[in-house]
């Protein structure tokens, strides 16, 4: 059992029995309401960002050396050819922990994004109705500037676009707890993601956890 790794799972109604085979402690945050008493219950709001920030705020002083944030069924997002299994994921996490990598996105791809989250698929007719924010752009630039108080570049690389990533407790704590409380409030203010706040965080995880303390501000409000 690797006690230096903790897996945090944002679950709706997915089968998360795979987590018990990872060889490390895991915490399931359940938004589907159909898991037993061992799961931590949350309201079904704010996409996975709500789950992740809830965990960080509540566990800020007791975070694991390596924290792995995953969706309830992450495997399609980890490898487009279906080669990632629980065993290969376990080996990846152990390698990240052993090498002390401060942040790593686990998706098989990366994205480029402008300040409106483009390119994105939130206007495709076949996706209409899947998200409350369908048909709207993603406020990546606006959120970037609210979080960090600096202008966003014309384009950024998104290294964890599916919301599956690893980050050390040390790296998380390069930002104050008040920063993550602020992030959680932003998510709670857009509970159905009608403004695509959750989608914006999917494009900003590597910046949230980049360790740039010059971007920290005295107040987050």
Q: Is the pLDDT of residue 180 over 80?
A: yes
Label each residue of the chain as H, E or C.
CCCCEEEEEEECCCCCHHHHHCCCCEEEEECCCCCCCCCEECCCCCHHHHHHHHHHHHHHHHCCCEEEEEECCCHHHHCCCCCCCHHHHHHHHHHHHHHCCCEEECCCCCEEECCCCCCCCCCCHHHCCCCCCCCCCCCHHHHHHHHHCCCCCCCEEECCCCCCEEEEHHHHCCCCHHHHHHHHHHHHCCCCCCCCHHHHHHCCHHHHCCCCHHHCCCCCC
Is 29 in contact with 40 (CB distance < 8 Å)?
yes
Determine the average pLDDT of the residues in 188-195.
98
Determine the average pLDDT of the residues in 115-144.
94
CA distances from residue 213 to 157, 174, 200 in whole angstroms, order as listed:
20, 6, 21
Domains of the chain: 5-109+162-213 (3.90.550)
Q: Is the pLDDT of residue 82 over 80?
A: no
Residue 131: pLDDT band (50, 70, 90) is confident
pLDDT at residue 39, as a whole number: 86
Is 163 in contact with 202 (CB distance < 8 Å)?
yes
The pTM (predicted TM-score) of the whole model is 0.96
Determine the average pLDDT of the residues in 158-164.
96
Residue 221: pLDDT band (50, 70, 90) is confident
Determine the average pLDDT of the residues in 92-114.
96
Residue 209: pLDDT band (50, 70, 90) is very high
Determine the average pLDDT of the residues in 80-92.
89
């Amino acid at each position: 059992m690797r006690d230096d790794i903790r897996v945090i799972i944002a679950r709706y109604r997915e089968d998360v029995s795979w987590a018990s085979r990872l060889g490390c402690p895991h915490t399931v945050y359940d938004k589907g309401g159909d898991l037993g008493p061992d799961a931590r219950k949350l309201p079904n709001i704010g996409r996975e960002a709500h789950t992740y920030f809830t965990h960080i705020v509540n566990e800020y002083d007791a975070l694991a050396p390596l924290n792995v944030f995953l969706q309830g069924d992450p495997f399609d997002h980890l490898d487009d050819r279906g080669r990632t299994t629980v065993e290969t994921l376990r080996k990846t996490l152990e390698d990240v922990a052993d090498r002390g990598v401060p942040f790593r996105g686990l998706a098989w791809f990366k994205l480029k994004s402008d300040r409106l989250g483009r390119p994105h698929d939130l206007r495709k007719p076949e996706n209409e109705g899947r998200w409350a924010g369908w048909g709207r752009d993603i406020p990546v630039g606006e959120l970037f500037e609210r979080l960090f108080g600096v202008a966003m570049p014309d384009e950024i690389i998104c290294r964890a676009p599916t919301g599956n990533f690893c980050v050390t407790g040390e790296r998380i704590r390069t930002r104050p707890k008040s920063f993550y409380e602020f992030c959680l409030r932003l998510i709670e203010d857009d509970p159905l993601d009608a403004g695509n706040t959750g989608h914006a965080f999917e494009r900003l995880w590597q910046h949230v956890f980049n360790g740039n303390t010059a971007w920290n501000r005295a107040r987050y409000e």
